[in-house]
Amino acid sequence: MKALLIAGGFGTRMRPLTYTRPKHLLPIANRPHIEHVFDLLQRHDVNACVLLTSYLAEAFEETVRTAKDRGMTVEVAHEEVPLGTAGALKNAADLIGDETFLALNGDVLTEADLGALVRFHLDHSSQATILLTPVEDPSAFGVVPTDATGKVEAFIEKPPPGEAPTNLINAGVYVIEAGVLDRIPAGRESSAERELFPSLVQDGLMFAMPTDAYWMDVGTPEKYLRANMDALEGAYVTEAISMMAEGSVVLGEGAQIEQDATVSSSCIGADSRIAAGASVEGSVLLPDVEIRSGAVVKNSVLGQGVRVGERARLEGATVGDNETVEE
């Protein structure tokens, strides 16, 4: 079975970090997010993937090259202009053939049981099956009420606060029959959430399975930071971290922390340097970041090449690549 990774979005909510890279390549525990998605796929014996690209597509070239080293075959279906979530699937039709396939939103981090989702799909003779996850506030997501058998009754995109009929939302993981692609118009932008899925629901062809596995939509700096902290603390389990506990620190190759610097609950990118007397807490530093003496960085995300001057203070900040922050 092939998996399609939807990775063509502009990542506008993640700016300024996504001015220079797709959000799917931002590191979680010092590894690109997409590598964690590959881990999930290969744990379920899925070793073939189609990457659906558009924005900054050339940035994925190294990912495609190195995937074979881990036994993953990655093909690319590129969109010259963005085609939307359904249009991106249609654009990859020639690479899918007639087979049932998985599809995943590229900005989702999860430990969901993909095998269970596929079995549920086959047992219900579904044309498209969607994974559901519970959230406290479903108003920012696509809400998916179902009947007792799991058949989807409606697909409600971002209901007003307090009006959602369920707290189960679209988790961005799907099993889809190839014939469903015939429902998607060719050559134009088309939304799975607003066009394709409602048409399947209307015809009684879509089912949904809930999960209580770890799930995070890593689409904002706050949630991106939370995903990194979850990995450090063990809420999200990854082989990228040897010891997961409160206060853990992950150091990239060549990273330096001088004596008398204080670093806790943070991911420190390769070749970053934290000077004596500096403090970094609950933060993510991409490669080649310099934190000078007396500076304080707390609950922040710093892009590649950022320089934080002596006695500067950052709290709850997101700083783009190569910026300098003075006192």
Secondary element (H or E) of residue 90: helix 84-91
In the predicted model, is pLDDT for residue 244 greater than 70? no
Is domain 247-325 annotated with CATH 2.160.10.10?
A: yes
Residue whose pair of structure tokens reads 């920012």 in the numeric block: 140
pLDDT, tens digit (0-9, with 9 covering 90-100), for 252-272? 999 999 999 999 999 999 999
pTM of the model: 0.91
| Rounded Cα gap, residues 53 and 8, in angstroms | 4
The whole-angstrom distance between residue 208's C-alpha and the CA centroid of its chain comes to 20
**pLDDT score at 139:** 84
Helix, strand, coil abundance in the chain, percent, nearest 5: 25, 30, 45
- Span 201-205, average pLDDT: 94
Secondary element (H or E) of residue 225: helix 221-233
Long-range pairs of 306-315 with CB within 8 A, sequence gap ≥ 24: 308/278
Residue 176 identity (one-letter amino acid): I
Residue whose pair of structure tokens reads 């093909």 in the numeric block: 75
The CATH code of the domain at 2-217 is 3.90.550.10
**pLDDT score at 243:** 64
| Rounded Cα gap, residues 290 and 139, in angstroms | 39
pLDDT, tens digit (0-9, with 9 covering 90-100), for 77-132? 888 888 889 999 999 999 998 999 999 998 899 999 999 999 999 999 999 999 99
**pLDDT score at 299:** 97
Q: Do domains 2-217 and 247-325 have the same CATH topology?
A: no
- Span 232-261, average pLDDT: 86
Query: Where does residue 111 rank: exposed (0-12), middle (13-18), buried (19+ CB within 10 A)?
Result: middle
Show me where the domains of the chain are located.
2-217, 247-325
